[in-house]
Amino acid sequence: MKLRGVVGGVLGVCAVFTLSACTDDPVPQEPPADAAPVIQPGRPGEPNKTLSPSEAGKAAPNAQPNKADLDYVTGMIVHHQQAIEMTDLVKLHGVNQQVKALSSRIADTQAPEINMMNNWLRQNGKPTVEPGGGGHGGHGGHDHGQMPGMATPEQMNQLRATRGPEFDKLFLRLMIAHHEGALTMARDVQKNGSVVRVQEMADDVVATQSKEIATMRGMLTG
């Protein structure tokens, strides 16, 4: 009798275990205690935050783009398009090999960025910004006169008509102003934008174009 009781008790425990193991209700899983922390970028002027895995999972992954985000992305595409038009002229009229190498790097950087920004617009249900007008007039609803650093139609015509060393100097002066305008646009969206991805785009522009400005100034004075 005692043996039957023990066996019955064991079977009962096994049945309970089997039923609980087969239940349809998922058991909440906490992130492993040793999971790596997540770094959340801070706003400009603010430090980054270190989040635990559970905190990162509860954080909102994406904010909705605001006007500053959309204006920056569409405007910077236009800005980049003119920069690439300027670098194309270096291939035709430039003579300084350092200027040619720099202009090639600018084009190699900014052409993929245009594609990336247009992809971001598509993902957010916005129209893309395609080249048009060869650097004259507005693109995508933007007026060149309202975007910092954009070369005017007269300046672009002057660049097309210049040759040799004078072309190289004019290109550098115009591209320095162009880059400085891009920094103004990037710093504006760093203050007023709401989307982390756009902040990252602006951070890249500030880092890359600040270095290129210093390089171009050195070429002018060297």
> What is the C-alpha to C-alpha distance for residues 71 and 126, in angstroms, rounded to an integer?
11
Is there a single domain that holds both residue 74 and residue 53?
Answer: no
Is there a single domain that holds both residue 136 and residue 161?
Answer: yes
Is there a single domain that holds both residue 92 and residue 116?
Answer: yes
Domain limits for position 38: 34-61
Is there a single domain that holds both residue 48 and residue 121?
Answer: no
Is there a single domain that holds both residue 78 and residue 170?
Answer: yes
Indicate the residue among 43, 61, 79 that finishes a domain.
Answer: 61
DSSP letter at 33? T
Q: What are 102-135's pLDDT values in tens digits? A: 999 999 999 999 999 999 999 999 999 998 633 3
Q: How many domains does the chain have?
A: 2
7 vs 124, more confident: 124
Cut 0.75: pTM above it:
no
Q: What are 66-83's pLDDT values in tens digits? A: 999 999 999 999 999 999
Is there a single domain that holds both residue 100 and residue 155?
Answer: yes
Query: Is residue 92 in some structural domain?
Result: yes
Burial 36-53 (b: 16+ CB within 10 A, else e): eeeeeeeeeeeeeeeeeb
Farthest-apart Cα atoms in the chain, separation: 110
Query: Is residue 26 in some structural domain?
Result: no
Query: Is residue 21 in some structural domain?
Result: no
Q: What are 28-44's pLDDT values in tens digits? A: 454 454 555 555 555 44
Whether 77 contacts 114, CB under 8 Å: yes
